[in-house]
Amino acid sequence: MGEKVYLSACAGYEWEPLRQAVAEQFQALELHKLVKPGCKAVIKPNLVVKAGPDSGIATHPLVTAAVALQLRELGAEVLIAESPGGLYTPSALKGIYAACGYDKMSREFDIPLNYDCTHREVQFPEGKRSRLFPIITPILEADLVVDIAKMKSHCMTMLSGAMKNLFGTVPGLMKPEFHCRFPEKPAFNEMLVDLCQLTKPSICFVDGIIAMEGNGPTGGRPRPMGVLAGSTSPYALDMACAAMMNMEPMDVLMLRDAASRGLCPQSLDEVELLGQPLESFRAEDFLQPESKTSNFIEKLPKFMQPLATRVATPYPKIRTAKCIGCGKCAESCPQHTITVEGQPRKAHIDYSRCIRCYCCHEMCPAHVIDIKRFSLFKF
């Protein structure tokens, strides 16, 4: 298929090495051919929640700045746009930009941030799972979509990279509606492939300089990986990221579905890897999310699989004593199974309706919602 992925070694977020790494990738991947003078390039970073630049949660602002300046030097008009979890309003965006270090970066490098919180419904007849998506306006008006993701494990999708980052093109609290429509992991991941096909990012990077392992995308722990990865293919890029995170790429449902559609090869051996050797970044002890499923259920008789899946699937559990009662978990819950009540206010989950999407875990600012598994299945 001719997909190429470039891997640059970056020990940290020092400006000059970052600029050099991004420039090398633009040259090696011939990204300059995609940037037309005067085109509107919209950069989509991963700013899911308020998190500091070194938390391992958000795309580092200096990575975004390095890409933005490279685009500007090629004649593009650059805009940074994101729809984080929770409310999608100018005031909410202002808080996200400030916490993630993007307002400071914007002032220093004169790179505009988007505050237009409108969206439009877009038909996508080619969709396998979803043929209609609400998409934020800046993405729809872009001549060039530039995807700058964060390398993270993810409790729902196993991997958060270039493909999963595009879920942030769906406005705010409309995201839980998709969890409600597609509560099963295979269907949800197929929807994400549809969304990636619709938004069509032309240039993709993954910030794995400080990644996140364990119960990501917000509740895990920072893991230095020292890599900046780039490609024109979000699928090939995520295959390389999966391998570096000690995951089998075809175990990631998004990638398995993408491969079945012919969007990426079945094996990383068919992807041309440039720059530093992938093996120099592979972390064999990379901590996987607690929600990672075993394939033993597939070996059971079909009539037993639904119940076994329900019992074996990890569930979110609130550490009530440390709950701050902010209500972010209830706000993000697609099934409205969470209530916040009492004095002091505490969150409570109605497990009879919980679909194990882990949105509450992802959006908890205090990180007091854990992913738990029955001890037998954990063993």
CATH number of the domain bearing residue 219? 3.40.50.11440
Same domain? For 91 and 169 the reply is: yes
Same domain? For 258 and 320 the reply is: no
Q: Does some domain include residue 335?
A: yes
Task: Give yes or no for residue 77 having a pLDDT over 70.
Answer: yes
pLDDT at 377: 47
Q: Does some domain include residue 286?
A: no
pLDDT band at 282; cut points 50, 70, 90: very high
Task: Give yes or no for residue 106 having a pLDDT over 70.
Answer: yes
Task: Give yes or no for residue 19 having a pLDDT over 80.
Answer: yes
The CATH number for 317's domain is: 3.30.70.3270
Instruction: Provide, for the chain, the percentages of residues in helix, strand and coil under a 3-state DSSP scheme, each rounded to the nearest 5.
Output: 40, 20, 40
- How many angstroms separate the CA atoms of 350 and 336, rounded? 9
pLDDT band at 253; cut points 50, 70, 90: very high
Task: Give yes or no for residue 303 having a pLDDT over 90.
Answer: no
pLDDT at 299: 62
Same domain? For 269 and 320 the reply is: no
Are 309 and 296 within 8 A, CB to CB?
A: no
Point out the domain boundary residue: 248, 280, 312: 280
Structure letter (DSSP) for residue 308: H
Same domain? For 357 and 255 the reply is: no
Residue among 84, 45, 104 at smallest CA distance from 365: 84
pLDDT at 131: 98
Distances (CA, A) of 78 to 32, 40, 42, 229: 14, 6, 6, 21
pLDDT band at 107; cut points 50, 70, 90: very high
pLDDT (average), residues 77-86: 96
Task: Give yes or no for residue 272 having a pLDDT over 50.
Answer: yes
Q: Does some domain include residue 285?
A: no
Element (H, E) at 19: helix 15-28
Same domain? For 124 and 191 the reply is: yes
pLDDT band at 292; cut points 50, 70, 90: confident
Are 132 and 44 within 8 A, CB to CB?
A: no
Point out the domain boundary residue: 224, 247, 280: 280
What tokens appear for 54 in the block? 């070194």
pLDDT at 379: 43
Structure letter (DSSP) for residue 113: B
Half-sphere exposure of 357 (CA within 13 A, CB side): 28
Same domain? For 262 and 305 the reply is: no
Helix (H, G, I), strand (E, B) or coil at 93: helix
pLDDT (average), residues 198-210: 98
Q: Is the pTM of this model over 0.85?
A: yes
Same domain? For 253 and 306 the reply is: no
Structure letter (DSSP) for residue 332: H
pLDDT at 376: 47
Task: Give yes or no for residue 137 having a pLDDT over 60.
Answer: yes
Using CB atoms within 10 A of its CB, is residue 85 exposed (0-12), middle (13-18) or buried (19+)? buried
Mean pLDDT of the chain: 94
Q: State which residues form the domain around 356.
A: 297-378
Same domain? For 105 and 148 the reply is: yes
Same domain? For 95 and 146 the reply is: yes
User: What percent of the chain stands above pLDDT 90?
Assistant: 89
Task: Give yes or no for residue 297 having a pLDDT over 60.
Answer: no
What tokens appear for 91 in the block? 């005031």
Point out the domain boundary residue: 220, 251, 280: 280
| Residue 211 or 356, more confident | 211
The tally of domains found in the chain comes to: 2
Peptide bond into 217 cis (omega under 30): yes
Same domain? For 242 and 369 the reply is: no
pLDDT at 378: 47
Same domain? For 261 and 313 the reply is: no
Task: Give yes or no for residue 307 having a pLDDT over 90.
Answer: no
Helix (H, G, I), strand (E, B) or coil at 354: coil
What tokens appear for 308 in the block? 């076994």
pLDDT (average), residues 207-230: 97
